Amino acid sequence: MIEQEKISKEINEMRAANKKIIFTNGCFDLLHQGHKDLISLSSSFGDVLVVGLNSDESVRRLKGNGRPIQNVVDRESALLATGYVDKVYTFENDTPLKLILLVRPDIIVKGGDYIPEDIVGYKEIIDWGGKVKIIPITPGFSTTSIIENMR
């Protein structure tokens, strides 16, 4: 509950300053060029880029045993180190819907491997007047392929 209060306070401060809030989410395990392209382009759509980051347990449920390679602290640090990300909020569920409802971003951004209507939070953001943007994925980059190449 304390984390929700902290997020609400930070988001309310952004809104009071008339900041346009952009949201994207993911596991961001072994941050690679495709991730960097997603977050750099996402940041160009507004004033503040908020990233929803899957918790370690959430990544494990979604990706399987042996994942994540990097723990949540390291993944958050890598995202913030890019200079494009303003806030990182970790979520425990398999989807970021609760976080999206708390943040109420102006724009949700996802990669080109998504169909807008299938994106978690699509209906909700459209209902409050926000937008969903799909950006091209950078070909040749995936954490899974990096891990497989390391073996």
**Which residues, in sequence order, are CB contacts of 125 under 8 Å at separation 6+?**
100, 105, 107, 108, 131, 132
Does position 130 have pLDDT exceeding 50, yes or no? yes
Query: How many domains in the chain?
Result: 1
CA distance 25 to 36: 13
pLDDT at position 149? 57
Does position 139 have pLDDT exceeding 70, yes or no? no
pLDDT at position 30? 85
* pTM recorded for the entire structure: 0.91
pLDDT at position 1? 56
Q: Provide the CATH number for the domain around residue 139.
A: 3.40.50.620
Does position 142 have pLDDT exceeding 70, yes or no? no
Does position 143 have pLDDT exceeding 70, yes or no? no
Mean pLDDT for 49-71 is 95
Q: Which domain holds residue 61?
A: 2-150
pLDDT at position 49? 99
